[in-house]
Amino acid sequence: MGEHSKLDGHHRATVEKIFSHPTSHNLQWHDVLSLLRAVGTVEERHDAHHTVTLGPETETFDASRSRDLDDQQVVDLRRMLSGAGIAPDSGKH
């Protein structure tokens, strides 16, 4: 699912938050999950983990116990999105 044209305004705002410096601390898991479902494949497991495949990379994320993501999750998301050609200034969203 590499069609980045599926990103709506809400998804683009989420991408902006993921790549913001300093790291945004109001990045909510449900927003990120919506973005990941639009650009990749998300498998939700029974143990509150989500296996995400985006481009050639697969990563497992633990659904945040709080509503916001931690710094390491944001770093992992940046790497995955960048690897798939998705960035705030990429013009692909």
Residues 35-87: tens digit of each pLDDT: 999 999 999 887 778 999 998 899 988 875 666 788 888 999 999 999 999 98
Residue 60 falls inside a structural domain: yes
Residue 25 falls inside a structural domain: yes
Residue 88 falls inside a structural domain: no
72 secondary structure, DSSP code: H
Contact 52, 58 (CB under 8 A): yes
Pairwise pLDDT comparison (31 vs 65), residue with the higher score: 31
Cα(57)–Cα(20) distance, integer angstroms: 22
> What is the structure's pLDDT at 77?
93
Domain that holds residue 26: 4-83
> What is the structure's pLDDT at 55?
87
Q: What is this structure's pTM?
A: 0.81
Domain count, the chain: 1
Residue 75 falls inside a structural domain: yes
Residue 93 falls inside a structural domain: no
Q: What is the mean pLDDT of residues 10-17?
A: 94
CA-atom Rg of the chain in angstroms: 12
Distances in whole angstroms, Cα of residue 13 to Cα of each of 10, 19, 43, 66, 89: 5, 10, 23, 20, 12
Residue 89 falls inside a structural domain: no
> What is the structure's pLDDT at 29?
87
